[in-house]
C-alpha cells in the first residue's frame, strides 16, 4: 500500500502530457525538467527512507502502517513535529489532487476539440477570463460526486484504491 501511495505521488509526471500546451519552450524545458526532477525526487526519496530507518525504531516502524512519516516527525522534532509532518503530507496530497483535476479538465477539453465526445463545443469551451476548460472541469466534478455517492462503505474504498 505504501508503494502505491509513493507511485501516486509521481502522478505529476503522468499529468505532464495533458498540460504541455501551456509550457513555454517545451523542446528545452521538458528535457531539463525530466532529468532534474526525476533525479531530485529519487534522491530525496532515498534520503527520506534512510532517515526513517535511522530515526524510527524497528518496533515502531513495523506497527506504524502508513503513519511512519508522522512518527518520524514526532521522534525528530517532538510532539509538534508529528502535526507539522502530517500537515505537509496533507498539502502535498492536495497539490496532487489539484494537478489531477487540472489535467483531467484539459483531457476533456482536448476530447471536445477533437470532436470525440458528445457535445464537443460544450467540452471544448474555455472560460473567457481565465482560459480554463470550466465545462469539462464541472463535468469531471459531477462525475466524481456521482461515483462518491453511488458507492458507499467498502465499495467506496475499493474504488479509491
Q: Which three cell numbers stand for residue 53?
A: 530507518
Number of helices followed by number of strands (H, E) in the chain: 9, 0
In terms of phi and psi (left: phi > 0; alpha: psi -120 to 50; beta: otherwise), the region of 110 is: alpha
* Mean pLDDT estimate for the chain: 81
Binned at pLDDT 50, 70 and 90, residue 147 comes out as: confident
Domain boundaries, the chain: 1-160
Give the pLDDT score at 136. Answer: 92
Give the pLDDT score at 107. Answer: 85
**What is the SS3 assignment for 115?**
coil
First to last CA, the chain: 9
Nearest one of 111, 105, 97 to 134, comparing CA atoms: 105
pLDDT of 7-36, one tens digit each?
A: 666 666 666 666 666 677 877 887 887 788
pLDDT of 49-74, one tens digit each?
A: 899 889 988 888 888 777 888 889 99
Amino acid at each position: 500500500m505504501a508503494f502505491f501511495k509513493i507511485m501516486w505521488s509521481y502522478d505529476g509526471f503522468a499529468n505532464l502530457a495533458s498540460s504541455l500546451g501551456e509550457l513555454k519552450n517545451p523542446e528545452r524545458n521538458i528535457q531539463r525538467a525530466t532529468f532534474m526532477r526525476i533525479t531530485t525526487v529519487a534522491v530525496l526519496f532515498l534520503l527520506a527512507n534512510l532517515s526513517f530507518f535511522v530515526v524510527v525504531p524497528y518496533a515502531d516502524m513495523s506497527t506504524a502502517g502508513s503513519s511512519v512519516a508522522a512518527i518520524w516527525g514526532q521522534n525528530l522534532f517532538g510532539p509538534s513535529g508529528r502535526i507539522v509532518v502530517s500537515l505537509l503530507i496533507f498539502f502535498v496530497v492536495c497539490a496532487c489532487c489539484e494537478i489531477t483535476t487540472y489535467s483531467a479538465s484539459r483531457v476533456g477539453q482536448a476530447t471536445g476539440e477533437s470532436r470525440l465526445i458528445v457535445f464537443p463545443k460544450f467540452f471544448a469551451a474555455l472560460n473567457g477570463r481565465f482560459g480554463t476548460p470550466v465545462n469539462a472541469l464541472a463535468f469531471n466534478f459531477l462525475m466524481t460526486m456521482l461515483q462518491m455517492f453511488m458507492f458507499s462503505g467498502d465499495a467506496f474504498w475499493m474504488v479509491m484504491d
